[in-house]
Amino acid sequence: MTIAPALLIGPLQSNHYVLLKEGQGITHEESVKAPLYNVNCYNWVLGHILQHRDIMLDLLGFEKVMTADEAALYEAGSKPISEDGPSVPFERLMDMLTTSQARLMDALGHVSEEALAKLPASGGERTLGNRLNGLIWHETYHVGQTEYTRQIAGKNDQIL
């Protein structure tokens, strides 16, 4: 199956819109509020999304937005972000979201269907397009969590 760049751009634009809306008015202190159950706070969810956007940027040959130390905080299986532990300031995460969006739109605006149909230079059995599609699906899963993490952060509202 051939994946056209437009099929990747659309979901990323929708996800970006939701993330900007859901992140409005949240402070860093609110973003690291620990949930009652074994789920992650808003700060971790957004950082994890950015860590995966960096994987996409790397696959496309573009500069990542996070440092290696920042990304390590948000990898799958990392320690939960807590109020008294290390974390990236929420405002910086939101700034990195805007930067990553611009870079991804630039990269996908210049990539060809032929390039998306090839295996990535980093190896693997899935084409670049399939790999990106899977990463975007993963992102969308976590974008849906922001409605709940916003409430955990103390906002009693409905954004969307």
Domain ranges of the chain: 5-152
Q: How far is CA 115 from CA 1, 30, 127, in A?
A: 13, 42, 9
pLDDT in tens, 135-148: 999 999 999 999 99
Q: Which fold has domain 5-152?
A: Four Helix Bundle (Hemerythrin (Met), subunit A) (1.20.120)
> Does residue 37 have a pLDDT over 90?
no
Please tell me the predicted confidence (pLDDT) of residue 135. 98
Rounded to 5 degrees, φ, ψ at 78 are -70, 165
Task: Tell me how many degrees the CA angle 2-106-27 measures, rounded to the nearest 5.
Answer: 115
Report how far apart, in Å, the C-alpha atoms of 77 and of each of 59, 91, 95 are. 22, 24, 24
Per-residue burial over 56-67, b = 16 or more CB atoms within 10 Å of its CB, e = otherwise: bbebbebebbbe
Tens of pLDDT, residue by residue over 45-83, are 999 999 999 999 999 999 999 999 999 999 999 988 988
How confident is residue 1, by pLDDT bands cut at 50, 70 and 90? low
